[in-house]
């Protein structure tokens, strides 16, 4: 890994977290929970510990009970979590953005009730945008919320919902009017109080955490559970994507870095044709390419973070980071398998799992194709959708 410019505080925060992850979390995911679902109480224990290091809590200001970290430091810490376990990074990401959203726009009553548990790592939130017919086209959300006195009555189906099985509450994107742009509203649905049905989705990877379908059947929720103003959710969701995409990029970056580290270690050990394979020029070239991809991904992530911290718009830069880092993870993880030869496709080595995880990364939070369209739109001013 190339050098990274870090302040003393950042270097110390990253190092302390790295030591904890290596000692306590890595063995847990490598052995006990390799491709096995982590039960809620175990995942909650991990969230609690991570929030002490600034994950999740870092997304919330000190006034609101968090640690109020800058975006760059948060992304550096998040890369470490993903390098340890991509599975673990998902609930961290979703809870962080749920907390960030609540602090930014929720009413004082909702904030008081739901933010402290999330910040402390005690509770889990889900963000419900996608539906069976709605993925890249967020504007077409069909889940309906109709007014009935002081309540919303919500019906619909959400899918691919991270944290679904763990969730204590869902921030649901629902249609409250037929206006395509101004008809979407976010509503907080409490699982214990209002209820919703959750069904797990089995995937190629990321099965140690929860991805789920959520069914809403005439769920009655007080109007006061509206998050932000009625009809204002599309604009907000798209602007939140700018930040969350940098985190999905950092997730891929962490994963790719881990694949590189595994490949370097293996190439220094494995001997063929009378020497370690690191000494063969074609392996050396692969390692050089992998390291350059990893570092290029990191530079794009850090640039996006610096723009966020400077309060500047970074839609194109976040899209570039997401696009590049996720595709780099696919390439780097595949090369890591190649360097491992036959061992690389067995469950005895981590790289086969990393390769399966990498394939998933270019899909959520806007696919690679959607990022390309955002970048091209910023360049030309011509929208493709």
Ligand X SMILES: Cc1cc2nc3c(=O)[nH]c(=O)nc-3n(C[C@H](O)[C@H](O)[C@H](O)COP(=O)(O)OP(=O)(O)OC[C@H]3O[C@@H](n4cnc5c(N)ncnc54)[C@H](O)[C@@H]3O)c2cc1C
Interaction site with ligand X (CB under 6 A): 94, 127-130, 135-136, 160-162, 206, 211, 360, 363-365, 367, 369-370, 373, 385
Measured from the CB atom, the residue of 245 and 302 that comes closer to ligand X is 245
Q: Indicate the burial class of 26 (C-beta count within 10 angstroms; 0-12, 13-18, 19 or more).
A: middle
Contacts for 350 with CB less than 8 Å, ≥ 6 apart: 30, 258, 262
Does residue 254 contact residue 80 with C-beta atoms inside 8 Å? yes
Q: How many helices (H) and strands (E) does the chain have?
A: 11, 10
CB of 364 to ligand X, least distance (A): 4
Measured from the CB atom, the residue of 72 and 187 that comes closer to ligand X is 187
Is-catalytic flag, 79? no
CB of 23 to ligand X, least distance (A): 28
CB of 173 to ligand X, least distance (A): 7
Name which of 351, 367, 348, 346 is nearest 286 in CA terms.
351
CB of 359 to ligand X, least distance (A): 10
Measured from the CB atom, the residue of 287 and 320 that comes closer to ligand X is 320
The residue nearest ligand X at its CB is 135
Task: Characterize the bridge pairing of strands 151-162 and 211-222.
Answer: antiparallel
CB of 329 to ligand X, least distance (A): 14
CB of 374 to ligand X, least distance (A): 11
Task: Characterize the bridge pairing of strands 125-128 and 169-175.
Answer: parallel
Write phi, then psi, for 191 (nearest 5 degrees): -65, -35
Q: CA-CA distance, 97 to 127, in Å (whole number)?
A: 9
Q: CA-CA distance, 363 to 84, in Å (whole number)?
A: 21
Measured from the CB atom, the residue of 344 and 364 that comes closer to ligand X is 364
Please tell me the number of Cα atoms within 13 Å of 248 on its side-chain side: 29
Beta strands in the chain (DSSP E): 125-128, 144-148, 151-162, 169-175, 184-190, 197-200, 211-222, 226-227, 271-272, 275-276
Measured from the CB atom, the residue of 73 and 163 that comes closer to ligand X is 163
Q: Given the residues 103, 230, 242, 365, select the one marked as catalytic.
A: 365
Measured from the CB atom, the residue of 322 and 340 that comes closer to ligand X is 322
- List residues with catalytic annotation: 365
């Amino acid at each position: 890994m190339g050098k990274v410019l870090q302040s003393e505080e950042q270097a110390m925060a990253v190092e302390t977290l790295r030591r904890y992850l290596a000692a306590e979390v890595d063995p847990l995911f490598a052995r006990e929970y390799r491709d096995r679902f982590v039960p809620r109480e175990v995942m909650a224990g991990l969230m609690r510990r991570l929030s002490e290091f600034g994950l999740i809590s870092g997304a919330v200001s000190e006034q609101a009970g968090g640690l109020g970290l800058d975006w760059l430091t948060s992304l550096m810490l998040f890369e470490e979590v993903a390098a340890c376990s991509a599975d673990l990074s998902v609930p961290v990401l979703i809870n962080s953005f749920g907390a960030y959203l609540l602090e930014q726009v929720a009413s004082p009553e909702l904030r008081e009730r739901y933010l402290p548990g999330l910040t402390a790592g005690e509770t889990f939130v889900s963000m419900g945008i996608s539906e069976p017919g709605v993925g890249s086209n967020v504007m077409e959300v069909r889940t309906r919320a109709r007014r009935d006195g002081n309540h919303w009555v919500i019906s619909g189906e959400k899918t691919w919902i991270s944290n679904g099985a763990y969730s204590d509450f869902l921030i649901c994107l629902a249609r409250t009017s037929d206006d395509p742009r101004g008809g979407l509203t976010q509503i907080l649905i409490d699982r214990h109080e209002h209820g919703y049905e959750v069904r797990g989705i089995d995937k190629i990877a990321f099965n140690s955490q929860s991805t789920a379908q959520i069914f809403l059947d005439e769920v009655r929720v007080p109007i006061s559970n509206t998050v932000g103003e009625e009809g204002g959710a599309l604009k907000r969701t798209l602007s939140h994507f700018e930040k969350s995409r940098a985190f999905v990029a950092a997730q891929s970056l962490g994963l790719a870095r881990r694949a590189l580290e595994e490949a370097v270690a293996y190439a220094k050990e494995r001997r063929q044709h009378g020497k370690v394979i690191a000494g063969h020029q074609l392996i050396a070239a692969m390692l050089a390419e992998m390291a350059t991809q990893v570092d290029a991904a990191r530079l794009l992530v850090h640039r996006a973070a610096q723009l966020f911290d400077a309060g500047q718009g970074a839609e194109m830069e976040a899209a570039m980071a997401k696009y590049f880092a996720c595709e780099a993870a696919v390439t780097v993880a595949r090369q890591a398998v190649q360097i491992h030869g036959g061992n690389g496709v067995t469950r005895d080595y981590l790289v086969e799992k990393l390769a399966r995880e990498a394939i998933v990364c270019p899909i959520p939070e806007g696919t690679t194709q959607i990022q390309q369209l955002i970048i091209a739109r910023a360049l030309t001013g011509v929208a493709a959708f």
